[in-house]
Amino acid sequence: MDDRAAKSEVLPREREVEPARGPPAPRVRPPPGARRNRWLLALLLLLIVVGIAFWWRPWSQAQRGPRAEPPQAVGEAPVTRGDLPIVLNGLGTVTPLATVTVQTQINGTLVDVGFREGQMVKKGDFLAQIDPRPYQVALEQAQGTLAKDQALLKQAQADLVRFQTLNRQDSIARQQVDDQMYLVRQDQGIVQSDQAAVDVQKLNLVYCHITAPVDGRVGLRLVDPGNYVQTGSATGLVVITKLQPISVIFTLPEDDLGQIQKRLRAGATLPVTAWDRSNSEQIATGKLETIDNVVDVSTGTFKLRATFANTDDALFPSQFVNARLLVDTVTGATLVPNAAVQTGAPGTYVYLANPDNTVSVRKVKTGPTDGTNTVIQSGLNPGDKVVVDGADRLRDGAKVTVPKPAAAQGAQSPQTPHRHRQGQGSSGGE
């Protein structure tokens, strides 16, 4: 009992000594400025690390020495000596030397057509016939009038002779003789007018028979037989185009006028070739005939006419062609491909391929050029090699390598599929 009393006395003391537990204390957060400062400090440390890394990399590379760049693959071509034709190119149109619309010169019914559409005709060949009967009747009428007036003229002339005889005999007055003389002159005028009327009717009969005025090719028939044709018609009967010879009118820039005139004044015959629109096939060969007398101020060009025999009818009227005019030929010139010539800070230059598989910049002076080669007036010699492919990635002294030609690489290519076929055969046997 005493033990229970002691325990009861002890327990209240322990409860009094133990502090009372309340809610947990709130967590203290750092102010926003402190968090921002920590982020700034971390960013600053990161920038310092990156700066040290960038500084350390060039220094380490300098310690190791410059890294050697691999040689660049380029294409080479030799500098050659040869002749370079100076050719001027212009867009032209095939233009016939004569295009004639055959018109009727009298009114009448078209009774006959003597040509086939597309036929080649010569000058004077029969083309069409107008009904001649009305004009034949008119001719006969005019001839009758002429005969009557000629008889009156002869009668007046005979009377004049008699009057002159009587006047010499003082049998009639001088006035009567003069009156008869004037009557004779009137009859002579009438006869002359009648003769003109007869000639007009004869000419109309000639006009009834229509012939070709020029050599050329007949186009499509514009009027059928049976129609009444008139001189005021705008269409005409048919159109004849002269094809042999034929011309090409083309244009060139006015800057080319001087050298062309210089060659023409020297008496040179300048050949011209006509090519198709794609510049892939030559159509005909001719010569320069003449140049125009003015320069078109709106385009800065002038026109030229070249003539072609066109015996094979390869050129057709109004056809678009590319005209190539050979002005001159530079003989014994130093030539390089156009792709080798570069333009930049040094001026006009090329990359010269050296024997040690490096390239060097070589300034050159260029001359005339065509679609393939350029004349080098100074800076290179025949036998040198220049870079024609891959020059945009080069610099002076760069290492280069020239790939082997495709023909050399393909010399062993037939062996590879042959071995492949043997392997297939052995596996099949297994």
Q: Residue 344 sits in a domain of what CATH number?
A: 2.40.420.20
- Within 10 angstroms of residue 408's Cβ, the number of other Cβ atoms is 9
Nearest to 356 by CA among 394, 391, 399: 399
Tell me, yes or no, whether 57 lies in a domain: no
Please give the share of the chain, as a percent, with pLDDT higher than 90. Answer: 57
What's the rounded Cα separation, in Å, for the pair 116 and 138?
Answer: 32
Local structure of 193: helix, strand or coil = helix
Tell me, yes or no, whether 94 lies in a domain: no
Tell me, yes or no, whether 8 lies in a domain: no
Residue 296: what residue type?
D
Residue 252 sits in the same domain as residue 292: yes
Give pLDDT tens digits for 267-305: 999 999 999 999 899 999 999 999 999 999 999 999 999
Tell me, yes or no, whether 409 lies in a domain: no
CATH code of the domain containing 236: 2.40.50.100
224 secondary structure, DSSP code? -
For the entire predicted model, the pTM comes to 0.64
Residue 132 sits in the same domain as residue 190: yes
**Which residue, of 276, 303, 330, is where some domain finishes?**
330
Residue 194 sits in the same domain as residue 122: yes
What pLDDT does residue 33 have? Answer: 61
Give pLDDT tens digits for 366-387: 988 877 889 998 989 899 999 9
CATH code of the domain containing 264: 2.40.30.170
Tell me, yes or no, whether 114 lies in a domain: yes
Residue 112 sits in the same domain as residue 233: yes
Residue 389: half-sphere exposure toward Cβ, Cα within 13 Å: 9
Give pLDDT tens digits for 136-163: 999 999 999 999 999 999 999 999 999 9
Q: Are 128 and 110 within 8 A, CB to CB?
A: yes
Residue 274 sits in the same domain as residue 193: no
Residue 134 sits in the same domain as residue 228: yes
Tell me, yes or no, whether 416 lies in a domain: no
- Taking CB atoms within 8 Å and a gap of at least 24, the contacts of 388-393 are 388/75, 388/76, 388/77, 388/337, 388/339, 388/340, 389/74, 389/75, 389/339, 390/72, 390/73, 390/74, 390/75, 391/74, 391/339, 391/340, 391/342, 391/351, 393/72
Residue 103 sits in the same domain as residue 223: yes
Give yes or no for residue 7 having a pLDDT over 80: no
**Which residue, of 213, 240, 267, is where some domain finishes?**
240
What's the rounded Cα separation, in Å, for the pair 322 and 288?
Answer: 14
Residue 306 sits in the same domain as residue 318: yes
Tell me, yes or no, whether 118 lies in a domain: yes
**Which residue, of 185, 217, 240, is where some domain finishes?**
240
pLDDT band at 21 (very low <50, low <70, confident <90, very high): low
Residue 230 sits in the same domain as residue 141: yes
Residue 153 sits in the same domain as residue 234: yes
The number of folded domains in the chain is 3
> Domain containing 395: what range?
75-79+332-403
Residue 198 sits in the same domain as residue 248: no
Give pLDDT tens digits for 295-345: 999 999 999 999 999 999 999 999 999 999 999 888 888 999 998 998 888
Q: Considering Cα of 25, then 27, then 30, then 31, what sign does the dihedral take?
A: negative
Secondary structure (DSSP) of 152-183: HHHHHHHHHHHHHHHHHTTSS-HHHHHHHHHH
Tell me, yes or no, whether 397 lies in a domain: yes
Give yes or no for residue 27 having a pLDDT over 80: no
Give pLDDT tens digits for 398-408: 888 888 765 44
Q: Are 120 and 216 within 8 A, CB to CB?
A: yes
